[in-house]
Amino acid sequence: MKFAFPMPHTMRLKALTQPWEQAVTGTDQAEMARCAETLGYDMIAVPEHFAVPDTHVELTGPHYFHSTVAQAFLAGATRHIPINSCVTLLPLQHPVVLAKALSTADWMSGGRIMATFGVGWDAEEFEVLGVPFHKRGRLADEYLAAIVELWTSEHPRFDGEFVTFANIAFEPKPVQKPCIPIWIGGDADAPLRRAARWATGWIPFLTPPEQIPARIDFIKSQPTFDGRPFEVSYGLGTSLIGEGHVVVEDPTQQPGMRAAEIIDKLGHFAELGVTMSSVPIPPVSGVDAYLDYAQWVIDEIKPHVP
């Protein structure tokens, strides 16, 4: 099992965020990223929203980054750890600009950028940005194909419904070959088919843990899946967040469980096909205590999880 480091103050989600996190600065996050790398965490992932409507602030919170900008910052603060997004809202960004941003960050970091693409769920956010919410799946499919074309072709060409380009140069290409690792976030059949075609990883959100094996089978049964190595990331605590970010009471995933309980739960996740997880931090007083717990996870939990 690989372990993702849950970076404080990348969002203020009511279900998980602690009050002290609001005082965490970007400088603090850079230092915490270096600590996560030193401790041996396998990944940091950055959420994204561009505008949170007032109707959703109570549950979702107002504080989110542009994930690619934050990824580049955290990559610049570290030397080895991969930096992912969770998730990049693909239909809300022009694919040429997004492809350039991600490939720039990958090139400058020596090949440590990943991207988890999602289609978004907040219709009001789409309205703010003037993007048709009902077309977000079609936009995502086409944008993703265009991005891969830009990353992998020496003479990129694309002729689609929403984006067209030809006779252009596009550099820097990503350092990672054939391209930046693509993961997909989401639970419905459409994102899973997207994962089968393009991705090396999947992040479920509303899929119950016991249904993960069947959904993995669905991905791998698609004709576009070629048998490539495939990661599944499901955090311990994901079930505490429901659709629309409502708070869900789930005693089986509460922060602060004993080591034996956490090891047992993560071992069960591994049996279900999960390859990467994270452990939510119980109530603490600040950054130092948070990092102490993060070290405890690496020392006392990680060695005992297959």
Residue indicated by tokens 């040429």 = 96
Q: Is the pLDDT of residue 164 over 90?
A: yes
pLDDT value, residue 195: 98
Q: What percentage of the chain reaches a pLDDT higher than 70?
A: 100
Residue pLDDT, tens place only, 49-70: 999 999 999 999 999 999 999 9
CA proximity to 36, closest of 278, 258, 255: 278
List of residues 6+ apart from 92 with CB closer than 8 A: 50, 120, 125, 126, 129, 131
pLDDT value, residue 230: 98
Residue 137: phi and psi, rounded to 5, are: -70, -45
Residue pLDDT, tens place only, 86-98: 999 999 999 999 9
Q: How far is CA 90 from CA 38, 116, 185, 189, 204, in A?
A: 31, 9, 11, 17, 16
Residue pLDDT, tens place only, 234-280: 999 999 899 999 999 888 888 999 999 999 999 999 999 999 999 99
* pLDDT class of 85 with cuts at 50, 70, 90: very high
pLDDT value, residue 254: 84
Tokens coding 167: 């006779």
CA distance 75 to 81: 8
Look over the chain and give the mean of its residue pLDDT values, rounded to a whole number: 97
pLDDT value, residue 253: 87
In the predicted model, what is the mean pLDDT of residues 283-302? 96
Residue pLDDT, tens place only, 180-199: 999 999 999 999 999 999 99
Q: Using the 8-state DSSP alphabet, how is residue 237 labeled?
A: T
pLDDT value, residue 54: 97
Residue indicated by tokens 């194909």 = 145
CA proximity to 271, closest of 210, 186, 207: 210
State in words which class domain 2-304 has: alpha beta
Domain boundaries, the chain: 2-304
pTM above 0.85, yes or no: yes
CA distance 209 to 239: 9
CA distance 127 to 242: 23
